């Protein structure tokens, strides 16, 4: 969004937060693409599970949508509101995702082809995004230090 002079109204955000937002939303967009291209395989694997029969066919869709909603909520509270709590939730979720990635790689169950490649790129973008949250210019944004008086 721009003001009357053509300046970005979000310019008061630190550059690291802008970079976080770009990487994080890029990873989110790739995640959406990956979900779309692998949906039938994911759905088939889910349906083949005996536990899935107890949960119902709606469960996979619901959990996927909840995951997307959590991702967007974290983006909003980190990049637009400066929430340190959301920052740490994103860090924990990214770390858990990397642990899950490591286990699927070690177990040989990581998807091959485009889905696997997109998954790796998405994970890399998430790691890059989270590292931007720890740059020195984000301390005031997250309320970790006071702005110096002019």
| pLDDT by 10-residue block (mean), the chain, 150 residues | 48 92 97 93 83 80 95 97 96 95 87 88 96 96 72
Note whether residue 28 is domain-resident: yes
The answer to whether 10 and 95 are in contact (CB under 8 A) is no
Note whether residue 49 is domain-resident: no
Note whether residue 75 is domain-resident: yes
> What is the structure's pLDDT at 10?
53
Beta-bridged to residue 54, according to DSSP, are: none
20-29 pLDDT, tens per residue? 999 999 999 9
Which two three-digit tokens encode residue 62? 């619901």
Range of the domain at 30: 15-38+57-138
Number of domains into which the chain is organized: 1
Note whether residue 45 is domain-resident: no
In angstroms, the CA 15 to CA 135 distance is 10
Note whether residue 25 is domain-resident: yes
Note whether residue 7 is domain-resident: no
Note whether residue 72 is domain-resident: yes
The answer to whether 129 and 27 are in contact (CB under 8 A) is yes
> What is the structure's pLDDT at 100?
92
> What is the structure's pLDDT at 3?
43
In angstroms, the CA 53 to CA 91 distance is 33
Note whether residue 145 is domain-resident: no
């Amino acid at each position: 969004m721009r003001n009357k002079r053509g300046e970005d109204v979000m310019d008061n955000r630190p550059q690291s937060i802008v970079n976080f937002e770009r990487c994080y939303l890029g990873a989110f967009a790739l995640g959406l693409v990956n979900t779309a291209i692998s949906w039938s395989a994911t759905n088939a694997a889910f349906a083949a599970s005996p536990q899935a029969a107890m949960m119902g066919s709606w469960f996979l869709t619901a959990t996927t949508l909840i995951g997307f909603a959590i991702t967007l909520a974290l983006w909003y509270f980190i990049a637009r509101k400066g929430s340190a709590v959301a920052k740490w939730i994103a860090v924990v979720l990214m770390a858990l995702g990397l642990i899950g990635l490591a286990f699927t790689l070690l177990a040989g169950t990581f998807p091959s082809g485009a889905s696997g490649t997109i998954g790796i790129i998405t994970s890399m973008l998430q790691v890059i995004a989270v590292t931007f949250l720890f740059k020195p210019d984000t301390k005031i944004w997250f309320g970790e230090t006071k702005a110096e008086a002019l």
